[in-house]
Amino acid sequence: MIRIHNSMGGAKEALQPLEPGRVGIYVCGDTVYDLAHMGHARSKIVFDVVRRYLMHSGYEVNFVRNITDIDDKIIRRAAEQQHPIKDFTEHYIAEMHRDYDALGILRPDHEPRATDYVQGMIDLTADLIAKGYAYVATNGDVMYGVAGFAAYGQLSGRRLADLRAGARVEIDEAKRDPLDFVLWKHSKPGEPAWPSPWGFGRPGWHIECSVMAEEFLGTRFDIHGGGLDLKFPHHENEIAQSCAASGDTFARLWMHNGFLTIDDEKMSKSLGNFFTVREALQVVRDPEVIRYFVLSSHYRGPINYSLEQLDQADAALTGIYTALRGRHSDERARASEYTRAFTAAMDDDFNTPLALAELKSLARALNFAHANGREEEAASLAAELRTLGGILGFLGVDAEAWLQKSKPAQALAAGSTATADAEIDELIARRLEARKRKDFGAADRIRDELAQAGVILEDVPGGATTWRRK
């Protein structure tokens, strides 16, 4: 039984899909006008794990994540760089896929782009006008009138009066209410535009998700997710549009991931305090380190990005890989108490920090069994560890290979790793000779030399020497 915290109402609820055994999820994707930053990555990783875990739990998951490929920022950036909009967005969509693929995020089952669904947005807008929820403003934009939708504010727990009182929005003469939002924006000369009953223009942001979600999941579906910053007004507006038009319930469960922070401040483009996924990939041994870092705190809470945090994630994950050294992945796993604890943690609103703690405990049990010569038990625990790690998208790397990996940024600074690897083997061979001669002084000098380069030697029983990078 999987329980999920529903942002609508704020309580944990049992997941009861509309259709038994099948779950439909819509997650708000990125606006493609720049490289993805770590805040975007967090959201992607969180919902990737939600999806993977549901699949693991036996659900057939229909996972939809949109791409916003038309909006003011895109138009401005493309114009600045003197690229046609389409080329510009195609470029950043490709870059986005490159980053998310590197992070091991599964591609969505459907990844609709807003510009392919403009007709649907026109239709929905017309429907909202016909039903009295929207109006054509004096400036030619089509606006949604929030006062007409009684449940407005339900998701974010706000009352219209409170919102108006604290409104920082400029008073727009065209709006009947300062909180009204644009469904259809009339275009200025030179801007991308689609013909509509209200003249040439482009869709507003919120209407995109309403249309694309309905297109793939219907007017009622199981889970809608996204970053906490989308809760208001984006998701609130989606609800207002979709529910007003269809009379249906739209998403039954809302999930919002917390922010990624830098020095405890939200990472965002506007603050300029962001690190791109690409930058982060340069400073980790393997993308799994980033995944581990993200999952090491609960998805609803904040998580602070720093090199120290990434190092901690690396240390934890390296510890798990160390336990898996010399273990083959073809051994059969027997579900033990660790699997039960892991499952209980994940079932309880995807408590990944607790689930990871179980992985670490499992690794220790594995080491303990090995230290006591119980190899059969160790093998079984290793297989179990791989299985559980795999559910979260981990442990896809060969253990020895993992330990010898270097951080791209460091490798770049130190020169080619291929050369370095050959040198390491050479030095290890020479040290072995010295040790045979009992010339420990010479042997230790070699070991120190390698340690200087971040390479740690380990003499394993039987006379062999393995190495790993710090």
Query: Does residue 220 interact with RNA by CB under 7 A?
Result: no
Nearer of residues 233 and 393 to RNA, judged by Cβ: 233
Nearer of residues 40 and 113 to RNA, judged by Cβ: 40
Q: Give every CB contact of residue 446 below 8 A, 6+ residues apart in sequence.
A: 427, 428, 430, 431, 434
Please report, as residue ranges, which positions from 170 to 189 form the binding site for RNA (by CB under 7 A): 178-179, 181
Give the whole-angstrom CA distance, residue 444 versus residue 89. 56
Query: Does residue 229 interact with RNA by CB under 7 A?
Result: yes
The region of 34-42, 211-219, 385-393, 412-420 touching RNA under the rule CB under 7 A is 34-42
Please report, as residue ranges, which positions from 40 to 59 form the binding site for RNA (by CB under 7 A): 40, 42-43
Nearer of residues 217 and 324 to RNA, judged by Cβ: 324
Nearer of residues 265 and 337 to RNA, judged by Cβ: 265
Nearer of residues 85 and 354 to RNA, judged by Cβ: 354
Please report, as residue ranges, which positions from 410 to 429 form the binding site for RNA (by CB under 7 A): none
In the complex, what is the shortest distance from the CB of residue 20 to RNA, in angstroms, rounded to a whole number? 28
Q: Residue 210: what are its φ and ψ, rounded to 5°?
A: -55, -45
Q: Give the residue, chosen from 6, 66, 196, 257, that forms a contact with RNA under the rule CB under 7 A.
A: 257
Query: Does residue 399 interact with RNA by CB under 7 A?
Result: no
For RNA, how many residues bind (rule: CB under 7 A)?
Answer: 85
Q: Give the residue, chosen from 260, 310, 379, 382, that forms a contact with RNA under the rule CB under 7 A.
A: 260
Q: Give the residue, chosen from 312, 329, 410, 417, that forms a contact with RNA under the rule CB under 7 A.
A: 312
Give the whole-angstrom CA distance, residue 208 versus residue 216. 13
Nearer of residues 20 and 306 to RNA, judged by Cβ: 306
Nearer of residues 21 and 441 to RNA, judged by Cβ: 441
Nearer of residues 134 and 363 to RNA, judged by Cβ: 363
239 φψ region: left (φ > 0), alpha (ψ -120 to 50), beta (else) = alpha
Nearest to 326 by CA among 361, 280, 284, 366: 366
Query: Does residue 302 interact with RNA by CB under 7 A?
Result: yes
Nearer of residues 160 and 333 to RNA, judged by Cβ: 160
Query: Does residue 360 interact with RNA by CB under 7 A?
Result: yes
Q: Give the residue, chosen from 3, 176, 364, 374, that forms a contact with RNA under the rule CB under 7 A.
A: 364
Query: Does residue 348 interact with RNA by CB under 7 A?
Result: yes
Please report, as residue ranges, which positions from 113 to 152 form the binding site for RNA (by CB under 7 A): none
Please report, as residue ranges, which positions from 187 to 216 form the binding site for RNA (by CB under 7 A): 205
The region of 25-33, 278-286, 332-340, 406-414 touching RNA under the rule CB under 7 A is 25-33
Query: Does residue 252 interact with RNA by CB under 7 A?
Result: no
In the complex, what is the shortest distance from the CB of residue 54 to RNA, in angstroms, rounded to a whole number? 18
Q: What is the 3-state secondary structure (H, E, C) of the chain?
A: CCEEEECCCCEEEECCCCECCEEEEEECCCECCCCCEHHHHHHHHHHHHHHHHHHHCCCEEEEEECEECCCHHHHHHHHHCCCCHHHHHHHHHHHHHHHHHHCCCCCCCECCEHHHHHHHHHHHHHHHHHCCCEEECCCCCEEECHHHCCCCCCCCCCCHHHHHHCCCCCCCCCCCCCCCEEEEEECCCCCCCECCCCCCEEECHHHHHHHHHHHHHCCEEEEEEEEHHHHHHHHHHHHHHHHHHHCCCEEEEEEEECCEEECCEECCCCCCCCCEHHHHHHCCCCHHHHHHHHHCCCCCCCEECCHHHHHHHHHHHHHHHHHHCCCCCCCCCCCCHHHHHHHHHHHECCCHHHHHHHHHHHHHHHHHHHHCCCHHHHHHHHHHHHHHHHHCCCCCCCHHHHHHCCCHHHHHHHCCHHHHHHHHHHHHHHHHHHHHCCCHHHHHHHHHHHHHCCEEEEECCCCCEEEEEC
In the complex, what is the shortest distance from the CB of residue 461 to RNA, in angstroms, rounded to a whole number? 8
374 φψ region: left (φ > 0), alpha (ψ -120 to 50), beta (else) = beta
In the complex, what is the shortest distance from the CB of residue 269 to RNA, in angstroms, rounded to a whole number? 6
Q: Give the residue, chosen from 147, 151, 167, 412, that forms a contact with RNA under the rule CB under 7 A.
A: 167
In the complex, what is the shortest distance from the CB of residue 247 to RNA, in angstroms, rounded to a whole number? 25
Whether residue 190 contacts residue 178, with contact meaning beta carbons closer than 8 Å, is answered with no
In the complex, what is the shortest distance from the CB of residue 161 to RNA, in angstroms, rounded to a whole number? 8
Nearer of residues 18 and 169 to RNA, judged by Cβ: 169
In the complex, what is the shortest distance from the CB of residue 215 to RNA, in angstroms, rounded to a whole number? 19
Q: Give the residue, chosen from 327, 370, 386, 407, that forms a contact with RNA under the rule CB under 7 A.
A: 370
Nearer of residues 302 and 408 to RNA, judged by Cβ: 302
Query: Does residue 400 interact with RNA by CB under 7 A?
Result: no
The region of 97-105, 331-339, 365-373, 393-401 touching RNA under the rule CB under 7 A is 365-373
